[in-house]
Amino acid sequence: MLSNRLAALRALGKENEALDYLKSSLELTPSDSILKRYYADALILVNATEAINQYKALIDGGVKDIVVFNNLAWLYFEEKSFSIAENYIQDALKLENGYTNGNVLSTASSIYLATQQYKKLESTFEKGLEMGARVSAGGLLNLAEAKVRLNKV
């Protein structure tokens, strides 16, 4: 199984070999969206630009995946391209379970905090909490900071 081979290569410290394996597999089956997603996920830490390109190709191919949108939002956030990041996180939130995904809420809270959209951060996060989202400590800290900036604490 592909995921087992990738995990084994990573565990052995052979990330480049794992990336090469994924890339060569994609050359054989370029329309395989699952493989393309694995490749984009693997690229996040080593080549953010190429990860962005792979995620965008997935979206262009019709993939509507919460992780793809969230990861794109995070990568653009890391580049300080906040308006693009916000567009992708909005796409993630619109999908089923968008507001209940703790990673999506964490990314959204980081974007909204960086862009000083404190009310938006608060309403988005609280909607997620009402819907039963499991959230990270970082997301909760972002919410707390937004409330302080809104003079609600």
- pTM, two decimal places: 0.85
DSSP string, 74-118: HHHHHTT-HHHHHHHHHHHHHSTTGGG-HHHHHHHHHHHHHTT-H
What's residue 5's pLDDT? 57
Both tokens of 42, joined, read 């693997």
Q: Tokens 């653009």 belong to which residue?
A: 76
pLDDT one-digit tens code per residue, 64-114: 999 999 999 999 999 999 999 999 999 999 998 899 999 999 999 999 999
- Lowest average pLDDT, out of 33-37, 49-53, 54-58, 95-99, goes to 33-37
How far apart CA 64 and CA 6 sit, in angstroms, is 24
